[in-house]
Chains A and B, each alone.
Chain A
């Protein structure tokens, strides 16, 4: 299985922008999540971000909050999520990036947590409530376990700070496209283009844009602005949760295919 960095290198060699769909693990159930991962991998995903349900998701808007709450009510726990990943990861081309808040990591202990992730075959980690200042204790040990920890840059991040984050971030840099929480928005903010220019001027690392990308037009827009990846979350979570699991899977399969087509130049 390839690492997040290797995946981006291959895409860059082919001149392609990556598609990174996001799902909340265990919504509506883990069996459906496993099927969804397999399906997204087939339908054009290049990497897949998998959210661990958490009781207090500060960075998430209503769609992902609700999905996490449903999963927790069903009794989904971190160990179940990792078991599921361990089963499905060997069948996927796409590296799995785990998205989790910090408390579940702290609760396990950083080393135990990373060990579990490595065993399950997780390749990347995004922790939305762990800014640069608090990330040291995770960044270094993660490398020993072959896990890349990606840091986030926000529209409010000052230029000097952008450079430091870019330097520390592993795998890629996660550019938050809006001041706000995750969710579906009508359009992309123009300033994302300037942020991409600022980031590009300080780093050669791949840049993924996320938070608020919910349509094929948005994905194409960020690709044209120079992003190396479009990260699409709530729009997938919402589609998967609507109707029966079979209907949800069909919906996300089609959506994934269209998104990938939109960011693949003819």
Chain B
């Protein structure tokens, strides 16, 4: 077994990459930018300044680190998935080693709280008393409702009516913690429409309100801010790999809707050329079916929700409806940095179908006793394709981005157990 040499030290540190990527206009190559109504431009500048100021403020970092440890429960474990590994071992006993970065064990059950917590600390310092957010699967809504309850801030969550139905448990959790969940009926009643409505609210109430955007999408500086708050995933992973085998992982695997859990895992390793970065999108009923959410593999360059990125759109430039069994991946856009990494060839993006994700959902439940979120199940499902292509004994780290409690009703409708 080869050990990949180390190129940086063990201790997680504040990333300096914010100075180089994105550029001053919020561009990742041609992607990103700020395509928003003028009303929001000063607020985006204010947010960027506040972030730059507090991100480098030891007191802010201390408060954030303390809460991540004591409130969120970090660091999340890097777990060796022994039976899943055995499932993909060759007849001679060699093969991949599969590790799960257990973001599902965080408070509220997903990686989303890393960002919500960071942004709420920023909002408090900016003097904003009202918080809004969009949510798809409800995990970001729950994380935001949670931190608002923790800090006594008023909280409004926009959620598509279709998602409210398939994620009823999360709607209840948000309301229980005192958030107002506003149903969005426009379009397909999913994440895209909820995001548009949240942006309209922000345009209207920008002077009193902070918008906690939940993914590495939206106008600059959101893709950068959310990335930095999620980079703790990759930083811990690096330290944990070092501790377990004294080297780097060989392959990182994560699902991509907007792409925050994937960027959170990847960002720390982008400058480590030996580490393969693989993002998995939702192919829904198949990429040829027109009912999918495979933005990076099937989309064309466009602008949605304030950023230039790959986009599912028709020949007239109208945004088309995405589809995935997983509410968190059901989005026709994708974070601009993913588009950049794809064009650069630094990260690879593939897709798996609803059915493949359902199979993986059951597989890992039965092999490891871990019920993953349907979003996460997409990343796991790609092992079926990936593992037979690999040689040697590569170590794969999958971002186990969320737990599946919220999805059991959806899955129960599809599975006869």
Contact = CB atoms under 8 A, between A and B. Distances in A.
Contacts of A132: 38, 41
A200 to B, nearest CB: 18
Interface string A127-160: 0111111100000000000000001111111100
Contacts of B317: 78, 103-108
Interface stretch (A8-16, A36-44, A54-62, A219-227): A54-62
Nearest to A128: B37
A56 B37 contact: no
A77 interface: yes
Given A77-B316, A104-B316, A131-B41, A58 B187 contact: no
Interface stretch (A173-181, A201-209, A229-237): A173-181
A65 interface: yes
Interface in B307-326: 308, 311, 313, 315-320
B33 interface: yes
A156 B42 contact: yes
Contacts of A61: 200
B36 A180 contact: no
Interface residues of B, number: 39
A103 to B, nearest CB: 5
Interface in B30-75: 33-43
A184 interface: no
Contact of B37 (A59, A103, A104): A59
Contacts of A78: 316-317
Main secondary structure of the interface of B (DSSP, over half): mixed
A69 interface: yes
Interface residues of A, number: 40
Interface in A2-61: 54-56, 58-59, 61
B177 interface: no
Counting chain B CB atoms within 10 Å of each CB, which of A108, A156, A161 scores highest?
A156
A72 interface: yes
Given A103-B303, A129-B306, A54 B38 contact: no
Contact of A129 (B42, B303, B316): B303
Interface in B273-329: 300-306, 308, 311, 313, 315-320
Contact of B303 (A69, A106, A131, A133): A106
12 contacts: A55-B318, A56-B192, A56-B305, A58-B305, A58-B306, A59-B37, A78-B316, A103-B311, A134-B33, A156-B38, A156-B39, A156-B206
Interface of A: 54-56, 58-59, 61, 65, 69, 72, 77-78, 101-108, 128-134, 151-158, 161, 165, 176, 179-181
